[in-house]
Structure 1
């Protein structure tokens, strides 16, 4: 049985999406508990690029609002949460992958890897089995370049995930495809949580290199990535920057109300 988000008055909400997980530890423990119960659920990590998609794509917005767990992947989201008085720490898909695999290995929660390409999935599976004793990777699926969440290919993928018995499915399709596919999976799988992980599998396989830790801590991971691939990422980050004023305007009433309640 899937559950939609239950907005909490104290949590930061963006376009109807509530960031309801405050830390990496809380995310891991909540996801593991849901997987052990045999729930269907999805996990999304909110960043500025996603905020842009939320404004423009109704299917993406609907998928996000169905997510059981939403973390903050992006320092503007983190900063706004502090202003609200409900501080959260940045938790990306890449941050979640390692501790979830460690927990899954210890608790016997089988994992399915979905997305990217066949060589990357093979490398990722081999690396994860090497790192985490007892981890069961029960299937992989590398979709075509134009994967559609409601296509015949998606039907095949869902059937394979279901047959594998996976309790967790790591989705590495990029937004908005992975979130829309995860939303469909909530209705059609049997006790599987779908986690929207973006480039996390590529980082594990070594086919992409994550930004150095000092840039992550300084909130400059986006700048490091853009310098490495400016042609592809500069337009995206320009759109993200343009979304900041609307994001602030949309959350300002929440922040002011929270501060007024605190002062009363």
Structure 2
């Protein structure tokens, strides 16, 4: 029997999946029927919530997502306090790692958008060690600002479609990953799609993830902040300030955008 991506009542306008990491992995490795289109999986953390408050294009991507998980511990905790019976936190890096181990030769043809060439090479090598031939896996490191270049984007979408991509993994940051996937979805073919961010780099070791005890203690943000304070300091400060405001919006019923879906 096919598992369906059951969704619960929304928090922050996001209808969180009822499936845990294992069940999601099984669902997201099933073959798609012809004409299914792009099935975007969103992983909501407080940075996403901040962008959702002000970015209409990001809201459109979320509104049309096939499934969404609580990536951030604060999002998962808030959902639990609101009585949403989700499985708890399903982090993007963990879901990505689970998918990577579930990919099968002859069934899956992943395409990776990476933030640096080294990560792309490491991903390809890892897949080859799993038995995937070179033509079964593709990766590309798009130039900075690629999402604003229609000509480049059109060519990239064509390469993704011609690869016969079954899983498109974008590790180039939010909200650009989700927005680009959503806005070019009609040119990408039939595939599952994910905006994983640094989770791609964590998986291959080109960036170091927080120790397990910090992950389990919801302190992963502190690990990342200490490693790159100039880039992430302002982001985490803005996130922490805007998250309570987002809760107020949600509790007061001022968050209505998810009610429509136009996929």
Category of TM-score, reference length = shorter chain: 0.7 to 0.9
- In 2 relative to 1, CA 222–137 (structure 1 residues): closer, same or farther, beyond 3 Å? farther
What SS class does the counterpart of residue 17 from structure 1 fall into?
coil
> How far is the alpha carbon of 1:67 from its aligned partner?
0.9
| Aligned residue number for residue 110 of structure 2 | 111
Q: Is the Cα–Cα contact under 8 Å of residues 127 and 204 in structure 1 kept in the other structure?
A: no
- 1:124–1:202 contact (8 Å) kept in structure 2: no
Q: What residue number does 1:199 align with?
A: 198
Greater shift, 45-54 or 140-149, is seen at 140-149
Deviations 1:4-62 (A, max 9, x none): xx995x43321x332224421232122123x4435321111100001111112111111
Q: How does 1:47-196 map to 2 (within 5 A)?
A: 47-85=45-83, 86-105=85-104, 108-130=107-129, 132-134=130-132, 137-148=136-147, 151-196=150-195
Which residue in the other structure is 1:245 paired with?
244
- Of 165-174 and 117-126, deviating more is 117-126
Alpha carbons 2:11, 2:79 under 8 Å: kept: no
Unaligned runs of 5+ in 2: 254-263
Equivalent pair of 1:94/1:197 in contact (CA under 8 Å): yes
Distance 1:116 1:20 in 2: 28
Q: Mean alpha-carbon deviation: is it higher for 103-112 or for 54-63?
A: 103-112
C-alpha separation between the residues in 2 aligned to 1:12 and 1:150?
A: 34
Please report the TM-score for the alignment, with normalisation by the length of structure 2: 0.85
Asked if the contact 1:44–1:71 (Cα under 8 Å) also holds between the matched residues in 2, the reply is: yes
**Cα distance between partner residues in 1 of 2:54 and 2:32:** 35
Match in the other structure for 1:19: 16
Q: With the length of structure 1 as denominator, give the TM-score of the two structures.
A: 0.84
Q: Is residue 113–residue 137 contact of structure 1 (8 Å, CA) maintained in 2? A: no
Q: Could you say what secondary structure the match of 2:144 adopts? A: coil
Aligned length: 245
Residue 113 of structure 1 contacts residue 170 of structure 1 at CA under 8 Å; is this kept in 2? Answer: yes
Specify which structure has the higher proportion of helix: 1
